[in-house]
């Protein structure tokens, strides 16, 4: 008789496929209809799915296994299966041969109505001898030793094919199984998804615990609802958006580390359930909200329902990340631009320094923004393609890196408390209107690739615009003479000085630090090139150069002192000099006073630095005066020599002249009467 309905196995057990598949097999009352319905619903996959097997066993094997006789046939390898006719009538459509220690598929005779065939837990290596069972709907070969899918080409009605826990290396030979509904290949050695595109009725595909490294080739599976890919080595997933019905995708325990490798999931509208646990991506801080943000259609993630709150959070975080990324991109772009500009400035600087002969040629180009003729400065042309940034000075992000002015000839940068200037063009930026806040925060000023002589000229501006600058740094500024340090004395205050050896030959001198300490003693500097200034250093500096200061102040004639010091100091110095004649003790006090008043040790004040150009200019100016002086003195000398000559001539002639005078007088007086007449006449003539 027709067997009654077999109810499903209840309980929370999972089957061996480990996807929460709960197989319910019911036969209808009309065997010829061959309608077998399968209901599939989820279970938690946490149990290794052997329990259902036991249940299945309970269902069939315990009832049937005892009645099976395996008779050895005439053919040596294949046993022949025979069932008692009772059995055949009772269970005409199902046959269970599990745990029969079978190594080959037996020949099954006279069972052409068979619809369910169970070969679980045997040692079968090849699927054979079942081609005649053309009504077969359910074939279970779980836990065997099958190495290749074969021998199924006649089973056109097959709906459920369970080949889990075998040794299959390749998906193949499924061409005729167009009605396949469930394909279970878990626990095999499959490394590639292929030859499944024709399975348009397939709803469940289980490829867990295989050797898949990527997922693609999924087109054609138009009915696929569930795809289990747990415990593989998958690094990226493609083509999932070609599965119109896919609702559940299990990717737990694979090797997915970025969202980009599974980005096709975002395009799948049908997906509602996905798992990523056990992948590297799940450890990332951005994992949850990235997934949620990109897959709005999801209802469950890692077997947990997604709440509205979570979604909201995810979108908020995602927005923030986007902003951050944009910001950092901007920053890196800026940095790159800066780097290129600095390189450009450095190259120009090198040209200036080394290739002196081509200075004339480069002079015109130095100030222009066009790339120079030097072929290695091809970068210059690409830089000019960048739009010139006129950054805001007072943006809200005043603490962040600000590239204020970036062209390809110079760079000005304010970074919190440091103002960095690259290239001589940058010095012009000191003329700008700096906000009090920005300028007040600057405590360090760094000069690179600028001639020191040029820096000297803008020091007064620096003093005014950046009053809090305490630390000066010089790199590649051509500091060659100790005298140049004299120019720094005009600043208000310096706490630290850093002179980078690169491009500053003065650092190679033994005495440079002491000279700096000596000349700038009124600043009481604390650090030079990173090392603290000790009392000993100060004493040594005084000892070495103190005499110079003394000579410079006390031994110069007053007019020279005044001309060197200039108008501003005249009065103060004159006052000091007048008091100098008094007790020496007073003098030193006065000096101290002046230190406080003027801010500088006046006996050093005469040690100035004029840039070479200025100096030469001055000498040029003096030339005219010198010429005039020379002529003037020559005239004086001529006059003097003439007078001298006349004097000498007079000396020589005088005796003779004297004698003549006397002779004339005597001759006159010889005749008294005529002399008296002569005198009287002279007197009357006078009237």
Partner 1 sequence: MATERAGTWLPEAGKLELGSCCGPRMLSPERLALTDYEYLAQRHVLTYMEDAVCQLLENKEDISQYGIARFFTEYFNSVCQGTHILFREFSFIQATPHNRASFLRAFWRCFRTVGKNGDLLTMKEYHCLLQLLCPDFPLELTQKAARIVLMDDAMDCLMSFSDFLFAFQIQFYYSEFLESVAAIYQDLLSGKNPNTVIVPTSSSGQHRQRPALGEASMLEGVEASLFYQCLENLCDRHKYSCPPPALVKEVLSNVQRLTFYGFLVALSKHHGINQALGALPDKGDLMHDPAMDEELERL
Residues near partner 1 (CB under 8 A) are: 481-483, 505-506, 508-511, 540, 543-548, 550-552, 554-560, 562-564, 570, 584, 587-588, 606-607, 610, 615, 619, 622, 625-626, 628-630, 632-633, 636-637, 640-641, 644-645
Closest Cα to residue 138, out of 172, 181, 108, 107?
181
Site of tokens 């097997």:
53
Three-class SS state of 69:
strand
Tokens of 504: 């500053």
Rounded least distance, CB 519 to partner 1, Å: 10
Q: Is 459 exposed, middle or buried (0-12, 13-18, 19+ CB in 10 A)?
A: middle
C-beta of 296 vs 637, nearer to partner 1: 637
Vertex 569: Cα angle to 564 and 574 (nearest 5): 90
State which residue, 419 or 479, has the beta carbon closest to partner 1.
479
Closest C-alpha among 389, 386, 385, 441 to residue 412: 389
Kindly state the smallest distance separating residue 454's Cβ from partner 1, in Å.
18
DSSP states along 222-246: TT--EEE--SS---EE-SGGG-TT-
User: With respect to partner 1, which residue has the nearer C-beta, 270 or 610?
Assistant: 610
Q: In three state form, how does the secondary structure of 610-672 look? A: CCHHHHHHHHHHHHHHHHHHHHHHHHHHHHHHHHHHHHHHHHHHHHHHHHHHHHHHHHHHHCH
State which residue, 370 or 641, has the beta carbon closest to partner 1: 641
Instruction: Report the alpha-carbon angle 388-392-396, nearest 5.
Output: 140
Which tokens in the block code for residue 421?
């200037």
**CB nearer to partner 1: pick between 339 and 543:** 543
Instruction: State in angstroms the smallest separation of the CB of 518 from partner 1.
Output: 11
Phi and psi at 182, nearest 5°, equal -130, 125
At 350, list the tokens.
């090198």
Residue whose CB is less far from partner 1, 555 or 685: 555
Distance, first Cα to last Cα, the chain: 192
Least distance between partner 1 and beta carbon 594 (Å): 14
Q: Which one, 306 or 607, has the nearer CB to partner 1? A: 607
> What is the nearest approach in angstroms of partner 1 to the Cβ of residue 589?
11
**Strand 273-275, strand 300-301: pairing:** parallel
CB of 521 to partner 1, least distance (A): 15
Report the residue number, 651 or 686, with the smaller CB distance to partner 1.
651
Q: Which is nearer to partner 1, 621 or 668 (CB)?
A: 621
Contact 205, 229 (CB under 8 A): no
CA distances from 446 to 332, 450, 488, 499 (A): 22, 10, 14, 10
Give yes or no for a contact between 431 and 407, defined as CB atoms under 8 angstroms apart: no
Q: Compute the least distance from the CB of residue 455 to partner 1, in Å.
A: 18
Determine the angle formed by the axes of helices 359-366 and 308-354, rounding to 10 degrees: 140
Shortest distance in whole angstroms from residue 669 CB to partner 1: 40
CB of 639 to partner 1, least distance (A): 11
CB of 534 to partner 1, least distance (A): 16
Whichever of 211 and 636 has its CB closer to partner 1, that residue is 636
- For residues 546 and 517, what is the distance between their CA atoms, to the nearest angstrom? 11
Least distance to partner 1, CB of residue 654, Å = 19
Q: Rounded to 10 degrees, what is the CA torsion of 315, 319, 321, 324?
A: -170
CA–CA dist 592, 573 (Å, integer):
13
Q: Which is nearer to partner 1, 104 or 587 (CB)?
A: 587
């Amino acid at each position: 008789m027709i067997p009654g309905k077999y109810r499903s196995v209840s309980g929370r057990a999972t089957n061996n496929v480990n996807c929460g598949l709960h197989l319910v097999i019911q036969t209808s009352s009309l065997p010829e209809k061959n309608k077998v319905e399968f209901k599939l619903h989820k279970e938690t996959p946490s149990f290794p799915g052997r329990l259902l097997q036991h249940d299945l066993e309970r269902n069939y094997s315990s009832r049937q296994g005892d009645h099976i006789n395996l008779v050895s046939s005439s053919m040596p390898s294949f046993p022949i299966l025979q069932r008692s006719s009772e059995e055949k009538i009772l269970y005409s459509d199902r046959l269970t041969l599990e745990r029969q220690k079978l190594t080959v598929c037996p020949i099954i005779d006279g069972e052409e109505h068979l619809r369910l065939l169970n070969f679980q837990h045997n040692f079968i290596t090849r699927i054979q001898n079942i081609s005649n069972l053309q009504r077969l709907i359910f074939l279970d070969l779980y836990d065997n030793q099958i190495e290749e899918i074969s021998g199924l080409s006649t089973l056109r009605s097959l709906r459920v094919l369970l080949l889990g826990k075998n040794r299959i290396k390749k998906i193949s030979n499924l061409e005729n199984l167009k009605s396949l509904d469930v394909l279970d290949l878990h626990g095999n050695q499959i490394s590639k998804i292929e030859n499944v595109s024709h399975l348009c009725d397939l709803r469940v595909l289980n490829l867990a615990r295989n050797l898949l490294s990527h997922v693609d080739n999924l087109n054609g599976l138009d009915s696929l609802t569930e795809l289990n890919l747990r415990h593989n080595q998958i690094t990226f997933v493609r083509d999932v958006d070609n599965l119109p019905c896919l609702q559940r995708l299990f990717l737990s325990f694979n090797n997915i580390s970025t969202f980009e490798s599974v980005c096709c999931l975002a395009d799948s509208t049908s997906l509602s359930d996905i798992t990523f646990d056990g992948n590297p991506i799940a450890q990332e801080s951005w994992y949850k909200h990235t997934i949620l943000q990109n897959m709005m259609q999801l209802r469950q993630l890692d077997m947990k329902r997604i709440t509205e709150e979570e979604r909201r959070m995810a979108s908020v975080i995602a927005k923030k990340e986007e902003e951050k990324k944009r910001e950092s991109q901007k920053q890196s772009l800026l940095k790159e631009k800066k780097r290129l500009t600095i390189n450009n400035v450095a190259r120009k600087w090198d040209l200036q320094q080394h290739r002196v002969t081509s200075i004339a040629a480069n002079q015109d180009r130095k100030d222009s923004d066009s790339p120079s003729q030097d072929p290695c400065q091809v970068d210059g042309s690409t830089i000019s393609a960048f739009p010139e940034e006129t950054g805001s000075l007072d943006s809200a992000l005043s603490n962040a890196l600000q590239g204020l002015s970036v062209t390809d000839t110079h760079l000005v940068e304010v970074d919190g408390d440091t103002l960095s200037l690259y290239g001589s063009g940058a010095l012009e930026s000191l003329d700008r209107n700096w906000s009090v806040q920005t300028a007040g925060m600057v405590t360090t000023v760094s000069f690179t690739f600028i001639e020191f002589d040029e820096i000297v000229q803008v020091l007064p501006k620096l003093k005014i615009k950046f009053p809090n600058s305490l630390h000066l740094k010089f790199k590649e500024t051509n500091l060659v003479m100790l005298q140049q340090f004299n120019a720094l004395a005009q600043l208000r205050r310096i706490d630290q000085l850093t002179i980078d050896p690169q491009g500053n030959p003065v650092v190679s001198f033994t005495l440079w630090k002491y000279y700096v300490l000596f000349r700038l003693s009124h600043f009481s500097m604390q650090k030079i090139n990173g090392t603290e200034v000790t009392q000993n250093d100060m004493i040594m500096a005084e000892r070495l150069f103190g005499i110079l200061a003394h000579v410079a102040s006390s031994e110069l004639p007053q007019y020279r002192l005044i001309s060197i010091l200039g108008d501003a100091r005249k009065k103060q110095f004159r006052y000091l000099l007048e008091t100098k004649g008094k007790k020496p003790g007073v003098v030193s006090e006065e000096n101290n006073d002046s230190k406080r008043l003027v801010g500088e040790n006046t006996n050093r004040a005469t040690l100035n630095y004029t840039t070479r150009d200025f100096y030469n200019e001055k000498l040029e100016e003096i030339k005219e005066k010198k010429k005039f002086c020379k002529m003037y003195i020559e005239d004086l000398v001529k006059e003097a020599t003439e007078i001298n000559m006349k004097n000498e001539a007079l000396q020589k002639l005088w005796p003779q002249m004297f004698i003549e005078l006397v002779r004339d007088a005597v001759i006159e007086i010889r005749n008294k009467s005529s002399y008296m007449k002569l005198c009287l006449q002279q007197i009357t003539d006078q009237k």
